[in-house]
Amino acid sequence: METVPRSRLVVRVREEESEWEERRPGPPVHDDLVQREFIAAAPNEVWLADITEHWTGEGKLYLCAVNEVFSNRIVGYSIDSRMQSSLAVRALNNAVLRRGNVAGCVLHTDRGSQF
């Protein structure tokens, strides 16, 4: 499987029932400090975070998890019925409380608005 460079990626967005518009992703909001090298030589050097949606019998739930790359363990998380920035903030606060001194740690996320 060939990887397409991000600069060549085109996303098709459906505007109305019969129209499609092609858009390119905007420029990165911040520098990519990880450079897609998801490795760490010691604990608390690199964390990854993302939000997933899960359907339940009572509706949707959103889970934001923070993964510590060195140990490959979830070090913080938050669950809520709404996907807002507070979901990510709570997960990150949870991770910091569990891990203690995290000065210099790089947190890598996608470009979601919650981050």
pLDDT digits (tens, 9 = 90+) for 46-100: 899 999 999 999 999 999 999 999 999 999 999 999 998 899 999 999 999 999 8
Instruction: Give the integer Cα–Cα distance in Å for 30 and 33.
Output: 9
Domain ranges of the chain: 30-108
Instruction: Give the integer Cα–Cα distance in Å for 83 and 66.
Output: 15
Rg (C-alpha) for the chain, rounded Å, is 17
Q: HSE (CB half, 13 Å, CA atoms) of 19? A: 3
Specify the CATH number of the domain 30-108: 3.30.160
pLDDT (tens digit, 9 = 90+) per residue, 8-58?
444 444 555 555 566 666 666 666 666 667 778 889 998 999 999 999 999
